[in-house]
Amino acid sequence: LIAQSLKLEIGVGGSPRGAMNDQAYQLYLQGRQAWSLRTPAGLDRAEQCFDQALAIEPKFARALLGRADVWSIRGMERQDIVEYGQRNSDAQARIVAEIERALALEPDLAEAHASLGNIYWLGWRLGAAERALRRALTIDPNYATAHLWLGRVLQVDGRLDEALLEMKSAVELDPLSSRMHDNYSNGLLLAGRLAEGLVAAERAVALQPDNIQASARQAVALADLGRHDEAVAIARRLMATVPLRVIEAGYTLAKCGQSAEAEVAFAMMQKIDARGVVKAYVLAAMGRWEECLRALDPAVLQSNIVDYLYYFPIFDPIRSDPRFAQMIAAVGMTEAHARAQSERAGWQRAKAMKQ
């Protein structure tokens, strides 16, 4: 009963194929629970659990997959994710190989097809990513993580309205997952639905107080809503405790008029070698447009957050600059960006009609 409850809570569909050693399966469940926290300690614990499960059951497909998921999420959680954001990389190849080992053992494992879609997305292969994720959902329509990752793919493809439906499904299927709520929050913020995005971020923090990514979403939402005192308080906590979320702290401090502290945040970003969209995001909030454009070097743009450039109004002052268009074209996202601008225009028309 405990194992089944945990399985439902972490969004793991189905049951292992064939007979399975109970100890190995319990280790797998513990690993998935730790993985779902998305913290450095949680990811380390998850990898240990999956390794232990594989020592008992070397052909345990889900444990192989769990290990691959640790590697992919660990790369995404770090700010230095440039290697994960390239079209081909050794890091991606290693993860794909592990997923393919799992699929060779269990071809209809929905989680494996979803994970393959996730790594394709990190490598800018959006069509392949969407196909893999939709196959996962054909096998298991209730796999929350597949809905979440499909939503992320659709965001990057300039289809945020569709993406939000997938993310909402993920939240409904796995309402106790802080990470489902905080990713949904980010989608809502991209859509300019700030109040809803704040609520989702607050739910994520309530479920997992050490979810720093959710706290970062809170800070950004509060800053953009004009609730500056609250936003700055969270930003200062982010600065003091988690250097890897200094990006949102820098954006928040700049938006709230705390220029000196924003400069400190930017200096911290330089020390951790923040590049691409994350660096441009803070420079845009600081109004340093030439530096912002220079930061958008196609060679270091991250596929998992290029959608920030499409949707966040902070980038509107440089959107018509020929260099911006050239950068978007260089990463093959001209059509996706155009779709996103069409969506944004539609939201503005709908808003105007309500007034």
DSSP collapsed to 3 states, the chain: CHHHHHHHHCCCCCCCCCCCCHHHHHHHHHHHHHHHHCCHHHHHHHHHHHHHHHHHCCCCHHHHHHHHHHHHHHHHHCCCCCHHHCCCCHHHHHHHHHHHHHHHHCCCCHHHHHHHHHHHHHCCCHHHHHHHHHHHHHHCCCCHHHHHHHHHHHHHCCCHHHHHHHHHHHHHHCCCCHHHHHHHHHHHHHCCCHHHHHHHHHHHHHHCCCCHHHHHHHHHHHHHCCCHHHHHHHHHHHHHHCHHHHHHHHHHHHHCCCHHHHHHHHHHHHHCCCCHHHHHHHHHHCCCHHHHHHHCCHHHCCCCCCHHHHHCHHHHHHHCCHHHHHHHHHCCCHHHHHHHHHHHHHHHHHHHHHC
Q: How far apart are CA 271 and CA 244, in angstroms?
A: 11
Whole-Å CA distances, 198 to 34, 90, 160, 192, 230: 25, 37, 18, 11, 12
Residues 6+ apart with CB under 8 A from 340: 158, 160, 307, 310, 311
Which pLDDT value is given to residue 338? 98
Tokens of 214: 């959710």
Closest CA to 152 of 120, 107, 193: 120
Q: What is the pLDDT along the chain (355 residues), one digit of tens a residue?
A: 333 334 433 334 444 444 578 999 999 999 999 998 888 899 999 999 999 999 999 999 999 999 999 998 886 655 444 455 567 777 888 899 999 999 999 999 999 999 999 999 988 999 999 999 999 999 999 999 999 999 999 999 999 999 999 999 999 999 999 999 999 999 999 999 999 999 999 999 999 998 999 999 999 999 999 999 999 999 999 998 867 688 899 999 999 999 999 999 999 988 877 888 989 999 999 999 999 999 999 988 888 889 999 999 999 999 999 999 999 999 999 999 999 999 999 999 998 988 7
CA torsion 14-115-179-40 (nearest 10°) is: 110
Half-sphere exposure of residue 199: CA atoms within 13 angstroms, side-chain side: 5
Q: How far is CA 189 from CA 148, 192, 215, 229, 336, in A?
A: 16, 5, 13, 19, 18
Read off the tokens for 24: 């190995």
The answer to whether 160 and 311 are in contact (CB under 8 A) is yes
pLDDT of residue 5: 39
Interatomic CA distance for residues 101 and 95, integer angstroms: 10
* Cα three-residue angle 135-139-140, rounded to 5 degrees: 115
Q: Decide: residue 162, CB within 10 A, 0-12 exposed, 13-18 middle, 19+ buried.
A: middle
